[in-house]
A and B are shown apart, each in its own frame.
Chain A
């Protein structure tokens, strides 16, 4: 098989970064082979995918990227699907979405419908061309993106974390599609920790280390134990008062089908419950309904022995976003933590003590006078957490709190949550898109699948 793309001693550093994210990377990609790029979060997998596609600024890189396009083959194409389908779907209908690449290649509009239909068939997405993209499931949206690349007839297909977006059925369909593509000589690169059923397609593993170096082999996440045993719920917790009571809860949203329905569960004071489900299954929606920001279609929610009313939950319920940028706005870390305390009417002397305690608890004392906007993503996460914890809420909702964090920061966050839960008795309800990552701290595990929410 011929070599399609070659990287020779390639390094890349993001502007204003102290160290390169990719360091002296050399690799070869051959036609008809499937590669899997592994490595810890933040090690540069997506950056390497962008480099292969030619989307990085040349000024910030060194080394060579060799591909047939440079030697005059204008028809040589590399397709790249990034992680979040929602921000990559640019059109409102299935046909227009798949045709986007053809529009960019100036293909005659008369030739588009046949090519679009063929690509949709190859990606096993059988929908009319005028079908609204908004009505597709997350797995179907991912397959739509794959079709949108296949229509451009790529020689190399790069998929960034496909397993995180797809249900088992979607993964099986993707397996078949990739298998067919390999047989026709298309090379595939998966940036993926858990290839699942795609494992048998993989011919070679690469691993990126935290210094940006690439080597052969598969990276294993420390502490990722496949059969993690959940601790039994203690008798104290089973007798603790119920803080959150959910009965026959259903939420319709704007569609014709319920996002989920028939949800009934209790969460007691001091419990830690994890809600898992693939992206788009309604985990965040569940939190919003429980906090009283969305009205359920039917059923009831009682939180702290009352109907959920946001203004009455201030100070008692905290909410930590997946993305700390949604929360941070003050000029210093100290002011960021002080904000909720001021608004909740804490006296100045108690406020100062509480800020110091929150800083210390989250291990960010040294950052107290820094601007939160200039911190690393992981540090911002800790600042956001300190700010949410400072008013000592009785219950905390965490929306995928480990997403985008490297192992070290995940451990930092985990330590804070464990201490807050076990020492202070704060009740935790957190969501995760990865059913395989249930922390030992969890007393219970709710799973959302096929519109149903149930204990596991």
Chain B
């Protein structure tokens, strides 16, 4: 966890191409050593390309010339390197290990909440996907080709993000109820499952 945090923080500090290159090499080395399952280069690369194209486009608009391309690429690469170590960490470490590690630096209840957030993130993403697909069929202009036009961007906020926040809050309520139904919060401290 410390390694992931350090690599993520370094990505924010890195300001030059050389520093970013070195950091990329370290990340690649860690990736090869740990070989996480379920990490798709294509899927992450696709998000990176999408994110990069938006950032570069915004930089070109901001500077009014192609000079913004290099700065835009550096920023998007920084963001990618900030996110990448956390994903490798999440894919290579069991939830029980994460909780045990976090228990050393924070109250056990808080570490449970954080670990549960990580666990339910994919579930929330599925809910967002459901919302997105339903709104597409209702006519919302939120398909990737629609979002090339900035005037369609408010549809994402109104049709997807607003219902997703409502769903997220409902999900959080259900999870909290399920945890309390199994006596979470009965005592101020918790022990930790020794497995995995």
Chain A residues with a Cβ under 8 A of chain B: 50, 53, 55, 77, 79-82, 84, 86-88, 90-93, 95-96, 99-110, 112-113, 129-130, 148-149, 152, 284, 288, 291, 293, 310-311, 313-315, 317-319, 321, 323, 325-330, 339-340, 342-344, 387-388, 391
Contacts and interface: CB of A to CB of B under 8 A. Distances in A.
B193 interface: yes
B196 A317 contact: no
Contacts of A329: 158-159, 162-163
A105 B186 contact: yes
14 contacts: A77-B183, A87-B175, A88-B175, A88-B178, A96-B95, A109-B193, A110-B194, A113-B194, A319-B134, A325-B167, A327-B135, A327-B138, A340-B138, A342-B139
Interface stretch (B55-63, B76-84, B123-131): B123-131
B181 A55 contact: yes
Contacts of A93: 94-96, 195-196
Given A93-B94, A96-B95, A325-B166, A55 B180 contact: yes
Given A95-B193, A102-B191, A326-B163, A344 B95 contact: no
Contact of B182 (A100, A107, A130, A291): A100
Interface in B91-135: 94-96, 116, 119, 123, 127, 130-131, 133-135
Contact of A90 (B159, B178, B183): B178
Contacts of B135: 327
Contacts of A109: 191-194
Interface of B: 94-96, 116, 119, 123, 127, 130-131, 133-141, 143, 145, 155, 158-159, 162-163, 166-167, 170-171, 174-175, 177-187, 189-196
B195 A113 contact: yes
B163 A90 contact: no
Nearest to B189: A106
Given A82-B178, A109-B192, A329-B163, A104 B186 contact: yes
Given A91-B95, A112-B194, A148-B182, A343 B187 contact: no
Contacts of B180: 55
A315 B139 CA distance: 7
B183 A152 contact: yes
Given A82-B181, A103-B193, 14 more contacts: A79-B182, A92-B94, A96-B196, A99-B193, A102-B193, A112-B194, A129-B195, A310-B137, A310-B143, A311-B145, A321-B130, A326-B134, A329-B158, A330-B158
Contact of B133 (A112, A318, A319): A319
A130 B177 contact: no
A391 B93 CA distance: 49
Contact of B138 (A91, A149, A291, A388): A388
